[in-house]
Chain A
Amino acid sequence: MPAAIGTKLVTKRFGDERARTIAGYEATGGYAMLKKALAMKPDDITAEVKASNLRGRGGAGFATGVKWGFVPKDAKQVHLVCNADESEPGTCKDRLLVYWDPHLLIEGMIISAHALRAVHNYIYIRGEMMREYVVLAKAVEDAYAKGYLGKNILGTGIECHITVHRGAGAYICGEETALLNSLEGLRGQPRLKPPFPAVKGLFGNPTIVNNVETLMNVPFIVDKGGAWFNELGMGRSGGTRIVCVSGHVNKQGVFELPMGITFRQIIDDVCGGVWKGRKVKAVIPGGVSMPPLDEHELDVPCEFDALMTDERIKPVMVRPGQQFDLGGGRALRSMAGSGGIVVMDDQTDIPKATWRIMKFFAHESCGQCTPCREGTGWLEKVSRRVAAGQDHAKEGDLELLASIAHGIAGNTICALGDAAAWPMLGFLTKFRGDFELKIRRKAA
């Protein structure tokens, strides 16, 4: 049964200032689930997480239990790394989760580390999150003082350490292999996969990288069971869904909602509708890397599989008549990504919004792969002159943009290239008239 609106797991302590202290956290049931988990066999915890259908909340939506299962059984040293490098435009949940409930993250990490038999674990927090770094560093210190972390946690003989590692400004470090390089003190440039981090990650050891929200859900799975968590969700996606809604709505915010809720319900019922009495034009469903939805595609549930496969969402095209191929003829529709929903009203200048997204990717490309380094720069330049319209845009610019984007997609080490190409093609597919108008005005 899907969760009712109002069912709160990871956001239940939002607004409660006491919960940030270890005493306040314990007083509201904190660290009780850890005690239960430490009495369980590691493999039993992994089995519960598998049964829960918990999926990664950072962007890819990969099944967490399956990922944990990739760690070789004979591994001598395993690491768990929490990805708190939230920087996908439109996404603002992890920052709040860390700020309001740092001990739930620590508890989730210790339980997960126990399941993975990981000893030295790290939280990679984005450099700009200074307020949250202070909160988290204090929480970790307090957890050590109380014996939840250390060489012999709660007298069980289990050793578990967490170190908060602060970044210094680079979107790309949210990519898990770039994050590992940054942890190792290198430039944050992604690694080729395979080998995947679960086999060869931090310092060459098997490493699991999980998002903040993902790890914070683990204590609830231990508490109430994987089956319960799975029931709360929809299809192959267990649990609740946090969305961050921003842009042209009456009430922006971060909301924990049932997995199956539709975009229209989110905009109208949760966020009080579009501002100034206007209508929706476009919705970015999960951070700017994901192709946008138009006003006719809003009755799709905000769930991982639905956004990828629901046929009510039109496929992204390379050019009119040619569908973008994700491989094996699979259509690219959209993805749930990081839960960052950006709503644009019917007066939005779509080419200008597209340019701003391309400017972001051109700024954040790490420079390692030529298609991305050069391509994102060209996407920014050409989309800028298209957005400027009239004397600036040139005939053939839309075809040029599509061709550059198509040349980047699938040809880079990490997903940042795709993350720039997909929304470019997505906006061109669904709002072609807006772009053509910019160019046609010149002719007129």
Chain B
Amino acid sequence: MTASHVPTMFRNVLMSLEFSAEAQKKIAALCERYPDSATKQPVVLAALHLAQKEHGYLSDDAMRLVAKTLDLPYAHVYGVATFYTMFRLKAGIQPTGSTIRMCTNISCMLRGGYEVLEAFENKLGLKRGESNGKFQLVEEECIAACEFAPCALVGTKYFHDLTPEKVGEVIAELERDPHPEAEVV
């Protein structure tokens, strides 16, 4: 059995990933912001966001990189990464792609949120939860934009008062001008 057949988490090899110089600087600066903490643990969410931005998703190696950078056990980083819904543990969407977070919670549902989500599924050829390189489609819990329900969130942009008919326009706009989440980190 060659090394490549062994799941990475059992492989006793040095990890291959690194943070960019810019990310390292950001992490170092953030570590100074929690002087009452005995460890660098408070920076773990920020470091995971950065790892996801730079490596596309949180592979086993990406989580090991975070663990090493912050002097934390790998198991701790894994536990945190699997708790929060914005962290992706599998490859899928490219860092330059748009994650469409379509709300279907009560306020949006009452005004047709599920019909809009289905229109996104049909137009994109993706089921909720799936992604291709350019788009990820997420059925999101309330995105706190109920005043414009039904609403979708894509990176820093909100799409208001959606109807199934408007979905084509939204996708066309995102094709021209993507709003990747990685831009924000």
Binding site for B on A (CB under 8 A): 77, 79, 86-92, 94-96, 120, 126-131, 133-134, 161, 163, 165-171, 182-188, 202-203, 205, 244-248, 252-254, 284, 288, 340, 342, 344, 348, 353, 356-357, 360, 363-364, 366
| In the A-B complex, the 10 residue pairs with the closest CB atoms | A185-B41, A169-B85, A168-B84, A246-B146, A169-B86, A246-B107, A89-B142, A185-B44, A131-B156, A203-B36
Closest Cβ of chain B to A288, distance in Å, is 6
Closest Cβ of chain B to A329, distance in Å, is 31
Q: Are B106 and A353 closer than 8 Å at their CB atoms?
A: yes
B91 within 8 A of A: no
Residue of chain A at shortest CB distance from B42: A185
Q: Are B146 and A170 closer than 8 Å at their CB atoms?
A: no
Question: Cβ of A366: which chain B residues have Cβ within 8 Å of it?
Answer: 83
Contacts A89-B107, A184-B37 aside, 11 further interface pairs with beta carbons under 8 A come to A89-B105, A91-B146, A120-B36, A126-B144, A165-B42, A166-B46, A169-B85, A187-B79, A252-B147, A342-B146, A363-B141
Q: How many residues of B contact A (CB 8 A)?
A: 48
Residue B142 contacts which of A88, A168, A254 (CB distance < 8 angstroms)?
A88
B92 within 8 A of A: no
Binding site for A on B (CB under 8 A): 30, 33-37, 39, 41-46, 48-49, 72, 79-80, 83-87, 101, 104-107, 109-111, 140-149, 153, 155-158, 181, 184
Q: Are A252 and B148 closer than 8 Å at their CB atoms?
A: yes
Residue of chain A at shortest CB distance from B38: A203
Q: Are B41 and A247 closer than 8 Å at their CB atoms?
A: no
* 27 residue pairs A–B, Cβ–Cβ below 8 Å: A89-B142, A90-B146, A94-B144, A127-B45, A127-B86, A128-B86, A133-B184, A163-B33, A166-B49, A168-B84, A168-B85, A168-B87, A169-B84, A182-B45, A184-B37, A185-B39, A185-B44, A185-B72, A202-B36, A205-B36, A246-B146, A247-B111, A252-B107, A340-B146, A356-B106, A360-B106, A360-B141
**CB-CB under 8 A for A342 and B107, given A92-B147, A168-B87, A246-B149:** yes
Provide the bound-state CA to CA distance between A86 and B141, in Å: 12
